[in-house]
Amino acid sequence: MRHPSLALLAVSSLALAACDNTPSAPPSSASVVDEPPGIPVMGPERPILAFGDSLLAGYGLEDGESYPDRLEQALRARGVNARIVNTGVSGDTTAAGLQRLEFTLKNQSVKPELAIISLGGNDMLRSLPPEETRANLEKILQRLKQDDIPVVLLGMLAAPNLGKDYAAAFNPIYPQLADTYGAVLVPFFLQPVIDKPDLMQGDHVHPTALGIDAIVAATVDDVADALPQTK
């Protein structure tokens, strides 16, 4: 199925590849994600590493509104004592992510029980060769597998205006790598907000706070299920 508004992703002047500019804050809105319970969450703390680009970093959002922040709250509302470390960097390509992965892993106070990976959108928006995106993502997954860290891989789709050939090379990267490395796949991370202008910021690339909540609602079960079973 084609996503017409994805064309905006590739032509926006505020695309992921250029999201180190300071945006104006979006209007504040009530949350649609359950708030944490009023009593402390019981059980062992579950450290999770969120590693990726501006879609994790919280571009254009207030403190506490990023995907890792809202996901942590949603997990805790379900009784999971999650602690998510957000290492998203706006503008990161898969090559930049791979370059800083080792440093990031070495600087975690405890070994993550799960890694959430969101990279590749900037590669696509810059029309970088899909084979490079695949190779970088594969090395990232290999490194995490070396440390026995399970992965939730947040997939991306190529914008239709990049052409059928590019899409044919880019779109299979995520499902194929997820299958090879046993990662839990979210086929298209932005699916809950595409074609919904009220859930997207004015750049047509990044979700609003309500958009983040919609994405969290669509993915929290995948993340919860990906956590290793506690003994």
- What are the catalytic residues? 54, 203, 206
Measured CA to CA in angstroms, residue 181 lies from 56, 174, 209, 224 at distances of 22, 11, 32, 19
Q: Round to whole Å and give the CA distance between 136 and 119.
A: 10
> Which residue, chain included where needed, has tokens 């450290």?
47
CA 175 – CA 158 distance, rounded (Å): 14
DSSP state of 66: S
Counting beta carbons within 10 angstroms of the beta carbon of residue 222, is it exposed (0 to 12), middle (13 to 18) or buried (19 or more)? middle
